[in-house]
A and B are shown apart, each in its own frame.
Chain A
Amino acid sequence: MKEPAERAGCLEAWLHNHADAARRSLGRRLHAPGQTLILIAVLGFILALPAYLWLLLENARELSAAVDHEPRIALYLDNTPETELQAAVERVDELQGVAGTTAQSADQALARYRAGLPDTALLDWLDDNPLPAVIEVLPLERTPEALRNLESRLRQALPEATVVSDHEWVRRLQALHRAGTRVLLVVGGLLALGVMLILAVAAASELRERNEEIAISRITGATDRFLRRPSLYTGLWIGLGGGLFSFGLLWAGVHFTRAPVESAAAAFDLPLRFATPETQLGLILIAAGLVLGWVGARIGAAVALHADSHP
Chain B
Amino acid sequence: MIRLQRVTKRFAGGTEALHNVSLRVDAGALAFVTGPSGAGKSTLLRLIARLERPTRGRILVNGQDLETLPRRDVPGFRRGIGLVFQDHRLLLDRPVHANVALPLEILGFRRTEARKRVRASLDKVGLLQKENASPQTLSAGEQQRVGIARAIVHRPALLLADEPTGNLDPALSREIMELFLDFNRVGMTALIASHDLELIAALGRPMLHLENGRLEARQQPPAGKPA
Binding site for B on A (CB under 8 A): 1-2, 6-8, 10, 12-14, 16-17, 20, 212-213, 215-223, 226, 310-311
Contacts and interface: CB of A to CB of B under 8 A. Distances in A.
Secondary structure call for the A interface: helix
Contacts of A17: 105, 108
B108 A16 contact: yes
B113 interface: yes
A59 B81 CA distance: 64
A7 B108 contact: yes
Nearest to A8: B110
Nearest to B83: A219
B111 A16 contact: yes
Given A220-B78, A311-B51, A1 B110 contact: no
B49 interface: yes
A310 B51 CA distance: 7
A220 B110 contact: no
A164 to B, nearest CB: 72
A282 B142 CA distance: 53
B110 A219 contact: no
Contact of B107 (A2, A10, A20): A2
B108 A8 contact: yes
Contact of A221 (B71, B75, B91): B75
A310 B111 CA distance: 28
Contacts of A8: 108-110, 113
A222 B75 contact: yes
Contacts of A212: 89, 91
A1 B109 contact: no
A16 to B, nearest CB: 7
8 closest Cβ pairs, A-B complex? A13-B108, A221-B79, A221-B78, A8-B110, A223-B75, A221-B75, A220-B103, A6-B113
Interface residues of B, number: 33
A222 B50 contact: no
Given A311-B50, A311-B53, A220 B106 contact: yes
Contacts of B49: 219
A222 B52 CA distance: 16
Contacts of B74: 310
A20 B108 CA distance: 11
Interface in B50-98: 50-53, 71, 74-81, 83, 89, 91
Nearest to A309: B71
Contacts of A220: 78-79, 83, 102-103, 106, 150
Interface stretch (B152-160, B192-200, B209-217): B152-160
12 contacts: A1-B156, A1-B157, A2-B109, A6-B109, A8-B108, A8-B109, A8-B110, A10-B108, A216-B89, A216-B91, A220-B79, A311-B52
Contacts, number: 80
B155 A1 contact: yes
A1 B79 contact: yes
B108 A6 contact: no
A220 B74 CA distance: 10
B102 A216 contact: yes
Contact of B110 (A6, A10, A14, A223): A6
A128 B154 CA distance: 107
A1 B106 CA distance: 13
Given A1-B79, A1-B80, A223-B75, 17 more contacts: A2-B107, A6-B109, A6-B110, A8-B108, A8-B109, A13-B110, A14-B108, A16-B110, A17-B108, A216-B91, A218-B75, A218-B78, A219-B51, A220-B83, A221-B78, A221-B79, A311-B51
Contacts of A7: 107-110, 113
B67 to A, nearest CB: 11
Nearest to A224: B75
B106 A226 contact: yes
Interface string B129-162: 0000000000000000000001000111100000
B194 to A, nearest CB: 20
Contacts of A6: 109-110, 113, 117
B114 to A, nearest CB: 9
B154 A222 contact: no
B106 A222 contact: yes
Contacts of B107: 2, 7, 221
